[in-house]
Amino acid sequence: MSAVRVVVADDQTVVRDGLVTLLKLLPGIDVVAAASDGEEAVRLVAEHNPDVLLVDLRMPKCDGVEATRRVRADHPGTEVVVLTTYSDDESVLSALRAGARGFLTKDADAESIGRALQAAAAGQSILDAEVQRRLIEGAATPKPADLAGSGLTPREIEVLRLIADGLSNTEIARRLVVSEATVKTHINHLFAKANLRDRAQAVAYAYRLGLA
Amino acid sequence: MSAVRVVVADDQTVVRDGLVTLLKLLPGIDVVAAASDGEEAVRLVAEHNPDVLLVDLRMPKCDGVEATRRVRADHPGTEVVVLTTYSDDESVLSALRAGARGFLTKDADAESIGRALQAAAAGQSILDAEVQRRLIEGAATPKPADLAGSGLTPREIEVLRLIADGLSNTEIARRLVVSEATVKTHINHLFAKANLRDRAQAVAYAYRLGLA
DNA sequence: CCGGATCTCAACCCCAGGGTTGACCCCGCC
DNA sequence: GGCGGGGTCAACCCTGGGGTTGAGATCCGG
C-alpha cells in the first residue's frame, strides 16, 4: 500500500507546523501541503487531490465545517478528518453531517492521528472516544448493583431489559437465541416476582430500576 | 508499544480460524484465545484479560450484544470490537450502547481490522462507514421527542402519561371518564404520531420524554 | 447423591390490546 | 357558511401477550 497523502489545515502556525513535523515522522503518511485557512485548504485539495484532509474546526475565512462540505462535494476522493481542541457538541455534529470521516481532539497522540488518517483513507471512520459517547447518547452506564435486591435471576433481568427496549417476545427470543416459550416463562416469573401485570408496567419498572 | 492482545469470538469455525490466521500475520496484534460462543468469550476474557475482544454479533448461548455488555461491565480494561456480516440497524445500536468501541462488517480487509483493534486498544473507536452514516443520521434528529415538538394533543399526552403509569385501557377510561373506545382512539393516534408499536414502547417513550 | 434453583421448551386457553372504518359534536378560523 | 382538527363513541376483526400446567436438563450445595 502506498503512503496516504495528506493536506493539513490549521490557522495556528505552531499547531500546523507541529502537526506537519509529527506526521512526517509516521510511516505511511505523506504530508503534501499545509494551509492556514479554510479557503486555502480547499484550494490545496483541488491542487494536490490528497487522500485525506486533516482540518481544524476553528479557522478564519471558511471554517472546518464549511471546508469539509466543499471538499466532500467537489472532491469525493478526498476524505476529511477533523481536529479540534474541544469536543464541542455543536460543531461536531455539523462536521460529521458535512461528511467528515473522523473526529479527533488535539490531545490525541501522533499514533492516534496516524491511525485516523489511515482509516479515513480506507473508508473507515475513527472518532474520538468522547465524541462517540455523545453520538451514542444513552451512554448511561448501567448499575448492576441495586437490582440485586429485586430477587430476579440474571436471565430475568436480561429479559426485562429487552422488554424495556420495546422488543416483542419473538424479538427477544431471537436476541437471546431461545424459544419464545422460554421467553414467556421468564416473563411470567418476573411478573410474579415484581408484582407486574403486563409488559407496560414492566417497562416502567425497568426504568425505575435504572435499567434503561 | 507492546502488541495488542486480542480474544476472537465467532461461532463459525471457518470465520474464526480465518480471522485468527489473518490477525496473527499482522504486526502489533497478538491473538491469545478464540471462542466459539458468547459464554466462552466472556470466560476467555476473564481468563486472559486481553486488550480487545473481537466478537461476532450472531452467536449461540449469548450473542454479541450480551457478551459486550458483560465484558464491559466486568472487565473495563477490555475494549470490544464487533464484527458482523450485515450492518443491521437494530443490533448495531444495541452493541454500541452496550459499550462496543468499534463496529466492522465482514468484508473489511485484514488491515482495517488490525487498525480497528489498535484504535480500540488506544481508546479510540472505529466504525464501519455505513454504520457511522446511520449513527449520524440518527443523531441528526435526536429530539423531535420534545413535549412541544411531539405533535401530540393535550389529551393524547394525558393518555400517554396514564399508560406510563401502567394502567389498562379500561382503567384509563374510568380515570378520564370516557368510554374505552375513546381511549383506544387516542392511543392509536399517538402510536401513529410517535411511531410506536405497543404500549410497552409507549412507556419507554414517555420516560424518555420525562413524563414519568 | 439428592433436592432446589435456574433455564429450557411445549401445548393449551382466553382476552386485552391494537388496527380499521365510520360517525357525531363542538370549536375556531378563513 | 364551510372547513379542519380535536374529542367522543361503536362495531368489527385478529394477533400477540399473559396464565397455566407439566416436564426435561443442568448446576450447585448440603
Chain A residues lying within 8 Å of B111, measured CB to CB: 1, 122
Q: Is the pLDDT of residue A142 over 50?
A: no
Quick check: A145 pLDDT over 80? no
Query: DSSP readout, chain A?
Result: -PPEEEEEE-SSHHHHHHHHHHHHHSTTEEEEEEESSHHHHHHHHHHH--SEEEEESS-SSS-HHHHHHHHHHH-TTSEEEEEESS--HHHHHHHHHTT--EEEETT--HHHHHHHHHHHHTT-EEE-HHHHHHHH-------TTGGGGG---HHHHHHHHHHHTT--HHHHHHHHTS-HHHHHHHHHHHHHHHT--SHHHHHHHHHHHT--
Closest by CA to B50, choosing from B67, B31, B24, is: B31
CATH superfamily of B4-140: Response regulator (3.40.50.2300)
Q: Which residues in A lie closer than 8 A to residue B61 (C-beta atoms)?
A: 177
* Residue of B129, B163, B198 lying closest to A123 (CB–CB): B129
- Asked if A116 and A48 touch (Cβ cutoff 8 Å), the reply is no
A119: which chain B residues are within 8 Å (Cβ-Cβ)? Answer: 112, 115-116, 119, 126
Residue of A203, A207, A208, A211 to mutate when probing chain B, most B C-beta within 10 A: A203
Q: What is the mean pLDDT of chain B?
A: 84
Residue A65's pLDDT is 80
CATH of A4-136, one of 3.20.20.70, 3.40.50.2300, 1.10.510.10, 3.40.50.300: 3.40.50.2300
pLDDT at position A88, please? Answer: 62
Contacts of A116 in chain B (CB under 8 A): 119, 124
Chain-chain contact of B111 with A132 (C-beta, under 8 angstroms): no
B48-67 average pLDDT score: 82
Strand C contact with B185 (CB < 7 A): yes
Q: Out of 1.10.287.990, 1.10.357.10, 1.10.10.10, 3.30.300.30, which CATH number does the structure's domain A146-209 have?
A: 1.10.10.10
Smallest Cβ distance to B164: which of A132, A138, A204?
A204
* Residue appearing with cell numbers 452496550: B98
Q: Is residue A29 within 8 Å of residue A117, measured between CB atoms?
A: yes
The CA–CA distances, whole Å, from B77 to B33, B72, B182 equal: 17, 8, 54
- Nearest 5°: phi and psi at A142? -65, 155
| Most confident stretch, B2-11, B53-62, B69-78, B123-132 | B2-11
Pick the closest to residue A128 from A82, A161, A167 (CA basis).
A82
Has residue B45 got a pLDDT over 70? yes
Q: In what order do the strands lie in the sheet with A79-84?
A: A29-35, A4-9, A52-56, A79-84, A102-105, A125-127, B125-127, B102-105, B79-84, B52-56, B4-9, B29-35
A122–B112 CB contact, under 8 Å: yes
Give A31-34's long-range contacts (Cβ < 8 A, gap of 24+): A31/A6, A31/A7, A32/A5, A32/A6, A32/A7, A33/A7, A33/A8, A34/A7, A34/A8, A34/A9, A34/A10
What is the distance in angstroms measured between the alpha-carbon CA of A165 and the sugar C1' of D26?
Answer: 30
**What cell does B20 get?**
485468527
Listed by start position, the domains of chain B span 4-140, 154-209
Q: Give the DSSP letter of residue B198.
A: S
> What SS3 class is residue B98?
coil
Q: Which nucleotide is nearest to B187 (CA to C1')?
A: C18
Nearest protein residue to nucleotide D6 (CA to C1' distance) is B153
Per DSSP, helices labelled H in chain B are 13-25, 38-48, 64-74, 89-97, 110-121, 129-140, 154-164, 169-176, 180-194, 199-209
- Contact yes or no for B147/A150 (Cβ under 8 A): no
- The Cβ of residue B84 has, within 10 Å, a number of other Cβ atoms equal to 20
Q: Are A197 and A208 in contact (CB under 8 A)?
A: no
Give the Cα separation of A46 and A42 in Å (integer): 6
B108 DSSP 8-state letter? -
A142 vs B93: CB contact, 8 Å cut-off? no
Tell me the whole-structure pTM to 2 decimals: 0.61
Q: What is the mean pLDDT of chain A?
A: 84
User: What count of other Cβ atoms lies within 10 Å of the Cβ of residue A50?
Assistant: 24
Q: Which of A130-144, A153-167, A173-187 has the lowest mean pLDDT?
A: A130-144
Please give the CATH topology (third level) of the domain spanning B154-209: Arc Repressor Mutant, subunit A (1.10.10)
Give me the residues paired with residue B102 across strands. B81
CB distance A9 to A29 below 8 Å: no
Mean pLDDT of A19-32: 92
Q: Which nucleotide is nearest to A152 (CA to C1')?
A: C6
The strand pair at A125-127 and B125-127 is best described as: antiparallel
- What pLDDT is stored for residue B90 in this prediction? 58
Residue in the structure block whose three cell numbers are 481490522: B113
**pLDDT 10s digits, B136-175:** 766 544 433 445 546 788 888 889 989 999 999 998 998 8
